[in-house]
Structures are given as C-alpha cells and as structure tokens.
Amino acid sequence: MDERINKYLSSCGYCSRREADRLINDNRVMIDGKPAQLGSRVTDGQIVTVDGNRVFAEEEIILLAFNKPVGIVCTTTDNQGSNNIVDYIGYDKRIYPVGRLDKDSEGLILLTNQGQLMDDILRSVNGHEKEYTVTVNKKLSKDFEKRMSQPMYIKELNRWTRNCTVKMTGDYSFNIILTQGLNRQIRRMCQILGYKVVKLQRIRIMNILLGDLQTGQYRQVTSNEYNELLSQINRD
C-alpha cells in the first residue's frame, strides 16, 4: 500500500476525501505519531490516528437507503441535536450521509461507511441522475416544462444549471431529473420562474429507488442494487 492520506481515510470508510482534508488542516490526523500534511502518503505498517483513535479499514460494507422526513438535517455533527440524521437513525456503526437533502425536503438519501463510494457518487461531473417529485403553490404554465428544463443562471450561487428532464404530473406538480446538486437548486429554479415549492421529495438516486419505504425508515441496499450502482460508477 502506498496512497495519499486523504484517500486512505476515505477507503477505510472513515470520511470523504474532502472531510479528510479538513481534518488534516485541523491537525487532527497523525501518521506514526506525527501530524499529517495535505499530500502525505501512507504505506504498509504505518499507524494512522484521528483524534488519537487508530483508523482501520472497514470490513463490512454498509449502504443504507433512508426516507428522510422534513425537519431532519443531513449532517454528522452533534450541534443539531435530535434533528441530526445520524442520531435520528441510530445505526450501531459509523455511517454518514451521501450528499444532502435540505431540511425542508424529504425522501431518499443514502448513508454509508465507504468514503470512496461516497466520493464517486457525489462527483457531479459524472452526471449521476437524481429524481424528485415537486409540488408548487400555483398552477403551472403551459410552457413550464420547456422553461424549467433549460439552463438557468442562479445569481446567488453565480452558477448555471444544466439541462434537465421535467415532466408535469398535475396542475401544481411535476417530476424533475437533475445531474448536478447545487444548493437548494430546485427551489431556486422554481423561484426564478415565479413559483414557490411547497413539497419536494427525492424518489431516486441513480438506480436506487425510494419505492414504498416509509417516512423515517431505512433499509439495506440489496446486492443487486449495489452491484448496479458500482457498474454505473465504473462506466464514468
């Protein structure tokens, strides 16, 4: 073994590479008792610790599909109390959410102990699909699908959205498939077009479906789902 410290922590299932870089900058990561630096490498036989605790590779792969209720925040920190997604689930092993779903939204989110898998899913350049059902506060216009599916400039983020797939499902509702994950993207896009989102639910991440999973419940991703997920990632 000879790999960068951030990749090592990610492959051990401790955290994502981005979080690993933050821990390193905070001088919380040690290699053989010495503070790690960004770009430090780990080889066989070396001892890696975070906050004094040794980091070992995870043996069991955990990947959960969770139907997040409104009001739960997707963070692993303790400052949100009972609204913390990890504390809410109460899983008996260390896991963390793959990406985010804002506090006012509900639906599918994945949680895992595999940092590398988390990085691969979140890498937006790969164009991984996420599907949502959305309800707004007033009747949709006849040209809504066309306008909503085209790129928009979001001033607050100084970013353009990508083309997306939109299908109206009712006078006040639609489905949308995104391949990027800008902050509160759907809400901001609707606001640009003069609508306010009153309900937003994610129903799919790549090949993983929410299905009939009840609000507040989680399930193990099946082996077939996991293998197809890896297949999609490896095609990128």
* pLDDT for residue 69: 97
* pLDDT for residue 44: 80
* pLDDT for residue 58: 60
Query: Identical fold at 63-123+211-234 and 129-205?
Result: yes
* pLDDT for residue 4: 92
- Candidates 21, 78, 92, 102; catalytic one: 102
HSE-CB for 61 with a 13 A CA cutoff: 11
* pLDDT for residue 12: 82
Domain 2-54 homologous superfamily, CATH? RNA-binding S4 domain (3.10.290.10)
Please report, for the chain, the start and end positions of each structural domain, with discontinuous segments joined by +. Answer: 2-54, 63-123+211-234, 129-205
* pLDDT for residue 59: 60
Is the domain spanning 129-205 CATH 3.90.79.10? The answer is no
> In the annotation, is 102 catalytic?
yes
Query: Which of the residues in the chain have pLDDT under 50?
Result: 80
pTM: 0.77
Is the domain spanning 63-123+211-234 CATH 3.30.70.580? The answer is yes
